[in-house]
Amino acid sequence: MSTLPRGSTVRRDAGLYGYERALRRHGIEPIAGVDEAGRGACAGPLVAGAAILPAGKAGIVPGLADSKLLTAKARERCYDQVVRRALAWSVVVISHEECDRLGMHVANVEALRRAVAKLDLAPSYVLTDGFPVDGLGAPGLAVWKGDRVAACVAAASVIAKVTRDRLMDDLDEEWPAYDFRTHKGYITPTHTAALDEHGPSPIHRMRFVNVRRAAGLEDPAVGSAS
């Protein structure tokens, strides 16, 4: 991964669109953001989104923020705005089986790569959330809390989160005993109680210790981290 072009800086108070403005001042565009949803969940798919927002007023998404900081209704409104305004956007779903086969970190990196590769418009630069990702086909920068400080990453996070939430709502209808609609596959007391009572469903990720324990494959004394 590269750094910002020499001579460019992003002030702390630059706002959500500061990184894109700094890159465009150096003639760099289009700029893609990429992010995922569901990495920490122990059930359901991993979803990655990517987005390229246009410059100027057309790329200003009302209410845009890190998807985790928005209410479900606000995320849906942002999602509609992002897909309407974006020059290009994409979403990739990695099944729970592939997450188990690859391991969560490898699956996460693969999802981000696929999301960028799926964009109809090839980016000249890619911003990622938190950690560097190679193999994106363009230079880029890992931005700490990128979904809170870079608009294109926030847009990607909204795409990923809304898509995954909709998928988990559908899975809740298929497996109602686990209440996926409420916790979206993350570990909560309600989810843990359902696992203890019913054991894992076919969409649980068996690499997670709490899931293996519910399946009788792990010592009950072992912690619940994946």
Domain boundaries, the chain: 18-162, 173-214
Is the confidence at residue 124, as pLDDT, over 70? yes
Q: What is the mean pLDDT of residues 121-139?
A: 94
What's the pLDDT score for residue 8?
59
Is the confidence at residue 151, as pLDDT, over 60? yes
Q: What is the mean pLDDT of the chain?
A: 91
Q: What is the mean pLDDT of residues 113-117?
A: 98
Torsion 117-121-124-129 (CA) sign? negative
Q: Helices marked H in the chain — which ranges?
A: 18-24, 72-85, 96-102, 104-117, 146-149, 151-174, 180-183, 189-198, 209-214
Is the confidence at residue 223, as pLDDT, over 90? no
- As annotated, the binding site for a divalent metal cation includes 35-36, 129
Q: Is 205 helix (H, G, I), strand (E, B) or coil?
A: coil
Is the confidence at residue 222, as pLDDT, over 60? no
DSSP β-ladder status, 31-37 and 46-52:
antiparallel
What's the pLDDT score for residue 66?
86
Give the architecture-level CATH label for domain 18-162: 2-Layer Sandwich (3.30)
What's the pLDDT score for residue 179?
97
Is the confidence at residue 225, as pLDDT, over 50? no
pTM of the model: 0.91
- As annotated, the binding site includes 35-36, 129
What's the pLDDT score for residue 57?
94
Is the confidence at residue 224, as pLDDT, over 50? no
CA distances from 196 to 26, 38, 203, 211, 214 (A): 56, 22, 16, 9, 6
Cis peptide preceding 45, ω within 30 of 0: no
How far is the C-alpha of 118 from the C-alpha of 99, rounded, in Å?
19
- For residue 204, what are its two tokens? 């649980």
pLDDT, tens digit, 9 for 90 and up, residues 32-71: 999 999 999 999 999 999 999 999 999 999 999 889 899 9
Partners of 219 in the β-ladder: none
Q: Is 129 helix (H, G, I), strand (E, B) or coil?
A: strand
- Out of 102-111, 131-140, 172-181, pick the least confident: 131-140
What confidence category does residue 186 fall into, taking pLDDT thresholds of 50, 70 and 90? very high
